[in-house]
Amino acid sequence: MAPSTGTYQRGYMSKMTKHDKQMFQRRFCEKSLIKGSVPAMGHLAVLFGAVGTSYVVLTSKLTPVITCLAFCFCVLVIIRQQRTLENIVHFGSHNNFTRQKRLNDFLTNLLAAWPMMQDVSRYRVFHQTHHADYGSERDPCRTRLEHIGVPMAEIDTNRKLFMTIVRWFPDYLVEYYREVRSSRKQTIFFLAWHLAISICAALLVSIEFALFQAAIWLTCQLCLLPFLRSVAELSEHDYERGENIAETTFNNLGWLDHLLIHPAGDAWHALHHLYPSVSWWKQRHAHKFLLKHDPSYQAVISRTGLINREGSERSVLMA
């Protein structure tokens, strides 16, 4: 990757009418405790449902093949939901829950950040730099790729993508937790959150289940989730593709993106960079609104595949 030369310009100027801009702001930039908290709790419920199902699968007398397939499916759901929590932390850093910052941060931490060993206020510092200094040497996402040495221009097949992730996986883990600023305080909240869950699991089910749920959560978070996160992050930006945000940031709208790689509003990453105040539960509808009312947005690139291949990348007008 070529060294960064300076902050990228937006590369996009809306052609919406004044009325449409006001309507867009009113409809898609809302803050809501209910609309933010209820889905977040639902995602947690699905995650723990997958944990419980995996325990039942392993302790039931099923055939080896069925046990293996069912357990692998549960693990896939777990890491998908953990990625969802990380994305909720991301949108929580934009105060999606409420404009009351302390309440917003508490809910984001309780429902998403603490279980993932993060803190939204510390994440916000890292993430605001990514937005404000996008593409420059201060952009933490670009510098992470440069430090690790990811050859974006050379990744043109799924096999090369997989081998690249495997090769830089250890360095990626170190860089990621350094950038999101994991600290002793975050570790304490992480342990306290999971201790409380484990105590509830022990009281409601058994000590064995409590130990199992803690073990499978940690294993998925530390060993498997980083692979999914890597694929997601590599598909969001290609800094060498252009010289502004609109040319180097992508919406990822393939079925696999929505189902697994980019949950909780993360699929519309170009939309997010152009309109960061749009709430995560409004991303899809905001995208459709812009397609209809803003000709400039129709030139934004959308991806339907994991990598840059002919036929997998097009303007959102064609998507």
* Confidence bin at 145 (pLDDT 50/70/90): confident
Q: Which amino acid is at 130?
A: H
In this model, does residue 165 exceed pLDDT 60?
Answer: yes
Reported as a single tens digit per residue, the pLDDT across 13-26 is: 999 999 999 999 99
In this model, does residue 310 exceed pLDDT 50?
Answer: no
- pLDDT at residue number 45: 98
Q: How many residues does the chain have?
A: 319
Average of per-residue pLDDT values in the chain: 89
- pLDDT at residue number 124: 94
Q: Of 2, 52, 74, 15, whose CA–CA distance to 294 is shortest?
A: 15
Query: Averaged over 106-111, what is the pLDDT?
Result: 98
Reported as a single tens digit per residue, the pLDDT across 247-273 is: 999 999 999 999 999 999 999 999 999
- Residue 243, φ and ψ in degrees, nearest 5: -125, 15
Which residue matches tokens 């440069």?
A: 146
- pLDDT at residue number 264: 94
In this model, does residue 7 exceed pLDDT 70?
Answer: yes
* Confidence bin at 170 (pLDDT 50/70/90): confident
- pLDDT at residue number 143: 85
CA angle in degrees (0–180, nearest 5) for 186-192-197: 130
- pLDDT at residue number 218: 96
- CA 70, CA 64: separation in Å to the nearest integer? 10
Reported as a single tens digit per residue, the pLDDT across 212-253 is: 999 999 999 989 999 899 889 888 998 888 889 999 999 999
Beta-bridge partner residues of 237: 249
In this model, does residue 301 exceed pLDDT 70?
Answer: yes
- pLDDT at residue number 284: 96
- CA 232, CA 235: separation in Å to the nearest integer? 5
- CA 256, CA 265: separation in Å to the nearest integer? 14
Q: Of 67, 109, 61, whose CA–CA distance to 88 is shortest?
A: 109
Query: What is the strand order of the sheet 313-315 is part of?
Result: 251-252, 301-303, 313-315
Q: Both tokens of residue 59?
A: 């302790």
Q: Which amino acid is at 110?
A: L
- CA 62, CA 71: separation in Å to the nearest integer? 11
Helical segments of the chain, H only: 18-28, 33-59, 64-92, 101-108, 120-132, 140-148, 158-179, 184-204, 207-219, 225-234, 245-248, 255-256, 269-274, 283-293
- pLDDT at residue number 89: 97
- pLDDT at residue number 149: 75
CA atoms within 13 A on the CB side of 266: 29
In this model, does residue 4 exceed pLDDT 90?
Answer: no
- Per-residue DSSP letter, 116: G
Percent of the chain, pLDDT > 70?
Answer: 90
